[in-house]
Structure 1
Amino acid sequence: MPCLVRPAQPADFEALERIENEADELLINELAPDDWAPAPTGAARASEPGFIMVAELDDGHIAGFVHVLEVEGVCHVEQLSVAPRDARRGIGRMLVEAAKREAGIRGYSRISLRTFADIPWNGPFYANAGFVEEEPTTHFHRSLIGVEAERGLDRYGRRIQMVAQLAFPGNHSRKTVHP
């Protein structure tokens, strides 16, 4: 089924929350946490600095999204979710590549994320998409470690920061926060 990756619109916001909650069920089943916070609303995500891209299938339904923050000169994948019914069709990879392209167009030379190292659709997936592990050195990245600890994520497996270098037309490296 053909897929269009495009910027999210307000009409997509309800789908973002639903998709993230559905996708989180896979992680909940894998990690068996005591509790897990529900996804933020799509409107809450859209109110943050950065951008959201959605994958829309030709039947009109939203199959997944990527939410990228732009904070303190850093471009950071905050969330990537694909609806379980649409998984394993390359949609996550298309969303990651779209996020990398958009970040490059916006002038970033790199894009970061934090994830579980050993969950197959987390660390290994991102490594296959060109991300490499690195130590957090910016204020923003170090603050994420504290947020993860407050949420208890470190109890469920090793958390890592990963980064991909960007080399897209339009990338003039005007935003180059490096560790």
Structure 2
Amino acid sequence: MLIRPATTADFDALRRIELAAFETLRAAGAVSGVPSASSDQQLQRYLDDGFLEVACHHSGDPIGFCGGYIAEHLLHIAEMDVHPNSQGQGVGRALLTAAIDKARAQRLDGATLTTDRLAPFNAAFYATMGFRALAGDELPARLRGILTEEAEIGLDPARRVAMMLRF
């Protein structure tokens, strides 16, 4: 497996990965409804901030990606997906490690994300990487706003959690 920076030429492949991964999330009860994928504008934002990494199979075909942006001197992991055929093989861990290493190299203060709290490959996985769940007064307004937006698009607020890793 190779991890490399994405390019705009990867966008369609990244969306195919995201749509395939949606079905894994659906099976875990984390999502429902019509599958959706990141827009060109969202992917471009991650690319512009320097946080859009692609994991490729030895053939060169993309099998996963991690996209994020900088907010409040923190990396916000906005999207991370691994194609179902490549899940459980360390691809997500390698992608997240690459993003965290890049954020540390840029001297950011840490990383944040929102995820499903119940699917074992979501919050529990991020906890193994050092992220911890935020609640109450320690939940920044920015993350509270993201959780609200997620509820507005149909994600179950009882299943969602914001997490942070401080460097």
1:17-166 matched pairs, under 5 angstroms: 17-31=15-29, 35-41=33-39, 43-48=40-45, 50=49, 51-135=51-135, 137-154=139-156, 157-166=158-167
Runs (4+) of structure 1 moved beyond 4 Å? none
In structure 2, relative to structure 1, the CA distance for the partners of 1:33 and 1:122 (3 Å cut) is closer
What is the identity, as a one-letter code, of the residue corresponding to 2:73?
A: G
Q: Cα RMSD (Å) of the superposition?
A: 1.8
Alignment TM-score, normalising by the size of structure 2 = 0.88
CA shift digits 1:92-119 (9 cap, x unpaired): 0000100101111122121011111111
Partner of 1:8: 6
Distance 1:67 1:73 in 2: 16
Q: 1:29-54, CA deviations, whole angstroms, 9 ceiling, x for partnerless residues?
A: 2228551341023x323322532011
CA contact (8 A) 2:6 2:52 kept: yes
TM-score of the superposed pair, with normalisation by structure 1: 0.82
The aligned amino acid for 2:54 is V
How far apart are 1:13 and its partner, in Å?
1.1
Conserved 8 A contact 2:22-2:35: no
CA distance in 2, matches of 1:53, 1:19: 13
Partner Cα distance (2:68, 2:155) in 1: 20
1:33/1:88 CA distance change after superposition, 3 Å: closer
Q: Aligned in 2, Cα 1:139/1:66: closer, same or farther, shift over 3 Å?
A: same
Describe the SS at the equivalent of 1:154: coil
Q: Distance in 2 between matches of 1:101 and 1:32?
A: 28
Larger Rg: 1
- Answer whether contact 1:112 1:164 (CA < 8 A) is retained: yes
Contact conserved, 1:113 with 1:162, CA < 8 A, in 2? yes
Farther-moved stretch of structure 1 (66-75 vs 111-120): 66-75
Q: Which runs of 5+ in 2 are unaligned?
A: none
Q: Which runs of 5+ in 1 are unaligned?
A: 167-179
